[in-house]
Structure 1
Amino acid sequence: MIEDTDLDQEAQKALAEGRAITREVVRDGRAYTRTVKPYTSGVGGVMVTYEPCEPRENTIAAHQQIVQSLAASLAQIGVWIFDPQAGEAIWDDRSAPVTGLEKAQHRMSEKTFAEHIVSQDRTSFTNAMDAAIHEGTPLDLELRFKPPGRDVLWLRMRGERAMRADEPIVVCILADVSETEANRTRSDFMMRELDHRVNNLLAIILSIAEISARSNTDLTTYAKDFRARLESMARTHSLLAQTQWSGPSLRALIEKEINAHAAQDAVHLEGPDITLSPSAAQSLAMFFHELAANASKHGALSGVGGRVDILWNTQAGEEPVLELRWQESGGPTVARPERDGFGGKVINRIITRQLYADVSTQWNEAGICLTARIPMARICLREAD
């Protein structure tokens, strides 16, 4: 007999609400589904039925199988069995989208499967399978796999030896980890690129410090100029960071540098949209900083009424070039300096040497006019950058 202490309360509730009430009850470790159903034929009352439930452990196992299947589908995991005696591999339905192999086939020889593995990883796969079969070593490796008609993908393979009819087999799960591997590759590239850029940046700073010291005779002027040049570098890096180091536009770079030295109405910009490589952006930013700083101290931007026209255009040909022109007007009378300062050294060392520019300067009394012809291949954004 099933001991059911809540039956009276359930019966009264079923009669009051006019509906059947179903509940699971347990007796001696067995589960039953109890239904209390009101009836109104003749006298009022309830009808109670008990039906044995499936054992709880079976229900839990079934639920676990569903959860495992859902997890495998979400993670895009396929199940494989390698049978060394038959020399073949058998897989489930989920493995087809993971590996790109035909879903309807469901089996192939181990040799054929191995032929889809990139040759550089094939020996690792063979050695791992031998160790799993003969020594029981758990299999855990990543390898490159070339499905028919698809790009190479990365597979993560984990498996263990099992026995079937006293013969070893290897049960494996396979997962496509191509995206993870691509992220790892990008991360490694970014770390190498960061290391390169930091070293390059430190070299530039040391060069600025050395040349600034040679170009100034007092410590105050040296410190002021050195700080201004570091601030110019910081502005460029901020601009590059905004574009995620994909390269800023030439106009944006000029505007950011010129705005630090002059009012917008004192400068006129005109030229087509051009995207710079990060390395070219650093060189050109220093180039425009020195021109703007010199104009602020001695040239058209040093007083009221001065003007700077910055014009650029591209010229086609066997080797396309960018022609840049810096034209000052309305400032003090210009005279050619007796020696090059830091700005002249920047033009010679960075623009001429690094960007292969052809630079000419005219020291007109009305204002300096500088023209630079730079090969487009040296400044445009390339995939290598």
Structure 2
Amino acid sequence: MDHDQVNILLVDDQPAKLLAYEVILKDLGENLVIASSGREALEVLLKTEIAVILVDVCMPELDGFELAAMIREHPRFQKTAMIFISAIQVSDIDRLRGYEMGAVDYVPVPVVPEVLRAKIKVFAELYRKTRELERLNHELEDRVRARTAELERSTAKLRESEQRRSMAIAAGKMGSWDWDWISGDWMWDEGQYRIFGVSPEDFEVTPANVQALLHPDDVDQLRKAIAEFNKGTRAYETEFRIVRPDGEVRWCVGTAAATTDESGRVVRVSGVTVDITERKRAEERQNLLAREVDHRAKNALALAQSIVRLTRADEVKAYVNAVEGRINALARVHTILSLSSWQGAELSRLIDEELAPYSLGDQIKLAGPEVQLLPATAQTLALALHELFTNSAKYGALSTRSGRLAIDWQVDAELLTLSWEESGGPLVKTPKSRGFGTRSLLASIESQLGGQARFDWRAEGLLCRLEVPLTRKTATTGPGKFDTAGAAELQRASG
């Protein structure tokens, strides 16, 4: 062993996973300490010097996030490296939460042994080097104290600069800066230049040049900060936008703190800038998704409400079956659209979904090209097909084993033509009046999609022809656009 062992704490509520981590990490030659819960881990930390903590995010009683927060509250463990293991797909928000709690890295499950060993080895070596550096620093400080006061001030300034640089580099998207309030001189580190999209060679850091990179609507934030420091404020934080020289707009959060002289006058302002553009974009995507979900839910509920209100039946059981069938048809098409992120649905997939409840063998023949339907068209056509299948299974060709059904479709000049031809079933008679299903089918195809639905009640079987425009404006108004106009058509269809 060419180095002193360091302690690595493994925290997981599942013994099998702890054993797996021990097997993976034993070749590192470090001392592995086991804890089967967050409480047990805290007890170990109070008694043992730990270099690296490997902790499962999902644990009962005290999960990884809560454990990390409690560890960071203790001064002894504020710099202890923590690596989270997660068996689920974590979102950007969860990752950000983990890093805020003090995690230095994430390891997904299944764990790749080589990757886990490499990460643990890096932080174990960093821990050893940090301890060695601390010992060397103590010796150096003893020698520095004997030197002149000017050398001590130079050393302190160098240490402060190094701390700012290390903090910015460690955070990845951070930059630090320093402003001499008296002379007006600025100091930016590498991270600050990177955030603003400029280089030290081509950009002179002056108040005027910095202001030129701020978004016009956020320039007042800089003026407000200066005014606050002149009033005696010692710390200030704000969100603002910058416009890089290439035109890209980035969101940042800036934190600044003032240093004063003995008289209380501000002599220096130092701060940190963090690029939060990705977080802002994630928030915008989340808000957009929430609005889309709300819109789709309202439309679906409006249609479901119309189905429930307008369905007619002589018996309760028949009524329940009819309502459930129509709502299930709506749910099936929603599932198909969700799988495509509401980009559309294949016509053949809609037909297959409606066929699924029936065991019809070779009674049905399908023929037609692949046709991609817009969301609103898909929803309306799915309900229409449901009505046709339901009526055929009750009264038409699909109600007997001898019955046959042929469905074929074609597209010409953005017009979908679908033919439904039944044969071999019970003798067909032209109905004296149209039921709700037929009337709602006509209303949805003709009024909502601007198409046509024709019925030929032949004695040998129903012949139905549907013509649906594929580019009708009402069918392209957005995801989930089956609005209350459709419900109104059903209302009129119900008579």
Query: How would you bin the TM-score normalised by the shorter chain?
Result: 0.7 to 0.9
Match of 2:281 among 182, 204, 217: 182
Residue 85 (structure 1) shift: 6.2
The answer to whether the 8 Å contact 1:31/1:55 transfers is no
Moved more, 331-340 or 236-245: 236-245
| Cross-structure match for 2:328 | 231
Instruction: State the match for 1:54 in structure 2.
Output: 140
* One-letter code aligned to 2:388: L
SS of the aligned residue for 1:94 comes to: helix
Deviation at 1:64, TM superposition (A): 12
Task: Confirm whether residue 298 of structure 1 aligns to residue 384 of structure 2.
Answer: no
* Counterpart residue number, 2:292: 193
Matches within 5 A, 1:129-208: 129-136=226-233, 138-163=235-260, 167-208=266-307
1:272-330 residue CA offsets vs partner (Å, 9 max, x unmatched): 333334333322221111111111111221111323233233222xxx33223322233
Q: Which consecutive residues of structure 1, in runs of 5 or more, have no partner in the other structure? A: 1-29, 33-51
Alignment-derived partner of residue 459 in structure 2: 365
* TM-score, normalization by structure 2: 0.58
Decide which of 311, 335, 344 is 2:438's aligned counterpart: 344
153-162 or 76-85: bigger deviation: 76-85
Q: Report the more deviating stretch, 132-141 or 91-100.
A: 132-141
What is the CA distance between 1:359 and its match in structure 2? 2.4
Tell me the residue number matched to 1:333: 427
Structure in which a larger fraction of residues adopt strand: 1
Q: Give the 3-state SS of the residue equivalent to 2:140 in structure 1.
A: coil
- Matched letter for residue 186 of structure 1: R
* Matching residue of 2:223: 126
> Deviation per CA, 1:118-172, whole angstroms, max 9, x where unpaired?
3333334433443245442633222232212243222222222334895544322
Alpha-carbon distance, 1:334 to partner: 2.6
Unaligned runs of 5+ in 2: 1-133, 145-157, 480-495
Give the structure-1-normalised TM-score: 0.73
* CA distance 1:54–1:225, shift in 2 (3 Å): same
Q: Distance in 2 between matches of 1:232 and 1:252?
A: 12
Secondary structure class of the residue paired with 1:331: coil
Change (3 A) 1:335 1:121: farther
Separation in 2 of the partners of 1:90 and 1:382? 54
Q: What residue number does 2:190 align with?
A: 93
1:208 Cα deviation after fit:
0.5
- Following the alignment from structure 2 to structure 1, what is the Cα–Cα distance between the partners of residues 296 and 175? 42
Aligned residues: 332
The CA deviation at 1:184 is: 0.7
How far the C-alpha of 1:382 sits from its partner, in A, is: 6.3
Cα RMSD over matched residues? 3.7
Determine the C-alpha separation between the residues in 1 that align with 2:185 and 2:370: 60
AA aligned opposite 1:159: A
> Equivalents in 2 of 1:120, 1:234: separation in Å?
46
Larger Rg: 1
Q: Compare 121-130 and 231-240 and name the one that shifted more.
A: 121-130
